[in-house]
């Protein structure tokens, strides 16, 4: 019975324009019935929970799946999320993968890492987990987001602060090995084209940044240069339509070397990296 209901829900979500209807229908069923997605076939017909159609209707109205279930998966993490905090996206996993490789290649015993605009804490927590001896610092401005960040970083090695990413961590100037950020980067002119899950539910502060979407990244370029030691690396996510634009913010004239763009798992330009030039 449950699998038949899931098939029906899949069709409803597809008709509503949900990008991954089967996955979402299965996730909602698993969430409501307290099992993993791969165990749905083990739920007896008699245990079917009719509230399933309530959560399906919420997803049909394009409420984010993660807001309904209260959880988001990111690399090896399960994070608590909900209204007020940006829901981490799969594209950002490739940003973190590159950052981990870069830190490991540095051969520093206890690398110092800073995550600017941390949101749910996804990037900072993944780095702390996958680079075991790292010292990870994270900053978030929004009090609404921080309610979730604090839950996620509790018991971890991440040092979390509330504050503006542009002025954060003056005590770490010139000492940081890696600065990473998934900042807001959507141009204000693109508002109507943003998926309703993001536009209507993610905090506006986490999405939009000026007419061309690059206002905050321009500011973070100066922050990263201030924080990094010579030879340290910055990694910044951007929109796939901004490939080619962001590396030009990290110019040699401003003290950078090796600025480059990198693709995500779908081979679209997704993040820029640069190295602080040696004196």
182 marked as part of a ligand binding site: yes
3-state secondary structure 139-186: EECCHHHHHHHHHHHCCCCCEEEECCCCCCCHHHCCCEEEEEECCCCE
* Residue 267: active-site member: no
H or E element: which one contains 260? strand 256-263
* Residue 86: active-site member: yes
83 marked as part of a ligand binding site: no
Catalytic residue among 21, 64, 183, 247: 183
Catalytic residue among 74, 169, 182, 187: 182
Cβ neighbourhood burial of 130 (10 Å; 0-12, 13-18, 19+): middle
203 marked as part of a ligand binding site: no
Cα separation of 274 and 223, whole Å? 13
184 marked as part of a ligand binding site: yes
140 marked as part of a ligand binding site: yes
Q: Are 210 and 243 in contact (CB under 8 A)?
A: no
Catalytic residue among 86, 169, 208, 250: 86
* Residue 271: active-site member: no
Residues annotated within a binding site for substrate: 182-185
Residues annotated within a binding site: 140, 182-185
Residues carrying an active site annotation: 86, 182-183
Residues annotated within a binding site for S-adenosyl-L-methionine: 140, 182
């Amino acid at each position: 019975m449950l699998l038949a209901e899931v098939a029906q829900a899949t069709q409803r979500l597809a008709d509503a324009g949900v990008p991954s209807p089967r996955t979402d229908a299965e996730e909602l069923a698993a969430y409501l019935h307290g099992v993993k997605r791969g165990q749905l076939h083990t739920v007896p017909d008699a245990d079917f929970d009719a509230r399933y159609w309530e959560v399906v209707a919420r997803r049909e109205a394009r409420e984010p799946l993660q807001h309904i279930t209260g959880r988001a998966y990111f690399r090896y993490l399960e994070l608590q999320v909900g209204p007020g905090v940006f829901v981490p996206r799969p594209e950002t996993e490739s940003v973190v993968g590159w950052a981990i490789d870069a830190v490991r290649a540095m051969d520093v015993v206890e690398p110092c890492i800073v995550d600017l605009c941390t949101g749910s804490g996804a990037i900072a927590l993944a780095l702390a987990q996958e680079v075991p001896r790292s010292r990870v610092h994270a900053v978030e401005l929004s009090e609404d987001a921080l309610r979730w960040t604090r839950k996620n970083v509790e018991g971890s090695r991440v040092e979390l602060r509330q504050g503006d990413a542009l002025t954060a961590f003056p005590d770490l100037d010139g000492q940081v090995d890696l600065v990473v950020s998934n900042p807001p980067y959507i141009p204000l002119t693109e508002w109507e084209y943003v998926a309703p899950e993001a536009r209507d539910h993610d905090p506006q502060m986490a999405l939009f940044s000026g007419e061309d979407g690059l206002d905050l990244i321009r500011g973070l370029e100066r922050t990263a240069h201030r924080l990094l030691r010579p030879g340290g690396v910055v990694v910044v996510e951007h929109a796939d339509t901004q490939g080619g634009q962001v590396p030009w913010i990290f110019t040699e004239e401003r003290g950078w070397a090796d600025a480059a763009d990198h693709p995500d798992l779908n081979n679209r330009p997704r993040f820029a990296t640069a190295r602080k030039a040696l004196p």
